[in-house]
Structure 1
Amino acid sequence: MTDLLPVVLAALWGALTGALLPRAAYRFTTPQGMPWRTACEAADHPLTGWLGTTPCSQCPHTKAATLPLLTAAICALLALATGPRPELAAWLALTPVAVLLAAVDVRVHRLPDPLTLPLTPAVLALLALAAWLPDHTGTWRTALYGALALGAGYLALHLLNPSGMGFGDVKLAPALGAALGWYGWPTLMLGTFAAFATGALYGLALVVARRADRKSAIPFGPFLLTGTLLGVLVGAYTS
């Protein structure tokens, strides 16, 4: 039971933080170039605050169960893989933001700057704190190098093919490179490969199901985040 306590606590943390994401997800889900929502579409009620269990506190929306369940599951997996090591606190703090980014990108193909731009310094700061604590298993220097490498790589892909790699993905990449780089270059390469592999498989499935063609745009942010999660899980478990 003692070994499972961090997992249970992590799942509870994920469920509680995930339950507060629906309002932020709703406010951020506007088309590219449009301002964030300030009122609900149903009754034009002003939207107050960014955290809440429903998109609008004045509308009788059913509480969304998907985000809390997803956040809780991811936090539990991270706790299982990482164990009671200092970097687990960083992963748990970052998970709700990652879930929110994925939820918004799936809906409107947009990665909001207020979430992506502060994410890289936040990841590096949290991992720097973890590096000062005993029993950590990663390296902050490779986290920094990973952020630079993945950011530069995705920027190059964007410049070569802007329609295939959005600039929102470029802004997200350094934070993910830092998380993967914490566990070393093999983890960085694994997470990057997993992102492209899962994205390619999803695109292929859409084409086979005739729900898209080879020129259809798909949100890549969720696959970036999924690949990073897989890489971090493997890196944490094997370190």
Structure 2
Amino acid sequence: MTSASIVAAALLCAFATTVVWQVACRRIPEPVATDESKRAYRDLAGPRLTLLVVLASAASGSLVAHTAPSASWAIWAVLSTVGVVIAGLDAFTTWMPRSLAHWSWVVLAVAIAGTAFWSPAMAIAGLVGAVAAGLLFGLIWLISRQGFGFGDVRYMPLIGAATATISLNTFETALICGALLVVAWAIIDRAIHHRIRFLPWGPAYWLAALAALALH
């Protein structure tokens, strides 16, 4: 993969993420069941937070272009754009919008369908990974008696689809590393603030997926 291609991938992801982030922050309605401490989505549309999210997307896109098989790029692009936006909203507000999660499934389905033309085996792997990750976390959510938000369950198909296109080991590594990052955050947060304010599952699993890709 040439340097020009990597830069192009980073710029494309950055542009797409900028558009999705601005639309999401300005158009997505606030959740009905929330508290006054939640940061409003519209307050996230400023240049500083937008830049942070866009840089994360660009870094993700460049890593994918450098590391992942080209046939998997469409699926990884979903995680590197819409997935980054959802993770960012979770990081800054602790709420993952249901409508954006559902929209991400549609985009993911299109990406998987497009991948089937280039590599049917990779498309099947992505589909199985998406379903498996969603069902696994749905089961954990039920067993834990709703111990975490269902938005995290909605997010997991993006993680499962992308990592499964690489290998089963990458899929497993991402899930394990994501859990470890959540636990590490909980320990640090409790040590600093003497309580666990929230657990950033979205950012943790997005970062874990990239780490698993880099290490595969």
TM-score of the superposed pair, with normalisation by structure 2: 0.81
Q: Which residue among 61, 66, 69 is the counterpart of 1:75? A: 61
Residues 12-40 of structure 1: CA deviation (Å, up to 9, x unaligned): 21332333324523554845536xxx996
Residues 47-90 of structure 1: CA deviation (Å, up to 9, x unaligned): xxxxxxx83xxxxx65642222222121111111126x132233
Per the alignment, do residues 132 and 103 of structure 1 end up closer, same or farther by CA in structure 2, a change over 3 Å counting?
Answer: same
Residues 130-160 of structure 1: CA deviation (Å, up to 9, x unaligned): 2322xx5962223222222212211111112
Question: For residue 123 of structure 2, what is the aligned residue in structure 1?
Answer: 140
Helix, strand or coil at the partner of 1:165: coil
Question: For residue 128 of structure 1, what is the aligned residue in structure 2?
Answer: 113
Q: Does 1:230 align with 2:201?
A: no
Question: For residue 200 of structure 2, what is the aligned residue in structure 1?
Answer: 219
Q: In 2, Cα distance between the equivalents of 1:147 and 1:89?
A: 14
Q: Which residue among 160, 163, 167 is the counterpart of 2:143? A: 160
Residues 90-121 of structure 1: CA deviation (Å, up to 9, x unaligned): 32344221121012111221111122123234
Q: Within 5 Å, give how 1:151-230 maps onto structure 2.
A: 151-208=134-191, 210-213=192-195, 216-230=197-211
| One-letter code aligned to 2:15 | L
Per the alignment, do residues 108 and 40 of structure 1 end up closer, same or farther by CA in structure 2, a change over 3 Å counting?
Answer: closer
Per the alignment, do residues 162 and 111 of structure 1 end up closer, same or farther by CA in structure 2, a change over 3 Å counting?
Answer: farther
Structure 1, unpaired ranges of 5+: 42-53, 56-60
Quick check: 1:145–1:178 contact (8 Å CA) kept in 2? Answer: yes
Quick check: 1:75–1:95 contact (8 Å CA) kept in 2? Answer: yes
Bigger Cα displacement from structure 2, 140-149 vs 22-31? 22-31
Question: For residue 13 of structure 1, what is the aligned residue in structure 2?
Answer: 12
Per the alignment, do residues 66 and 230 of structure 1 end up closer, same or farther by CA in structure 2, a change over 3 Å counting?
Answer: same
Higher helix share: 2
| One-letter code aligned to 1:192 | L
Quick check: 1:7–1:80 contact (8 Å CA) kept in 2? Answer: yes
| One-letter code aligned to 1:24 | A
| One-letter code aligned to 2:56 | L
Question: For residue 51 of structure 2, what is the aligned residue in structure 1?
Answer: 65
Quick check: 1:138–1:184 contact (8 Å CA) kept in 2? Answer: no
Structure 2, unpaired ranges of 5+: 35-39
Q: In 1, Cα distance between the equivalents of 2:108 and 2:214?
A: 16
Backbone CA RMSD of aligned residues = 3.0
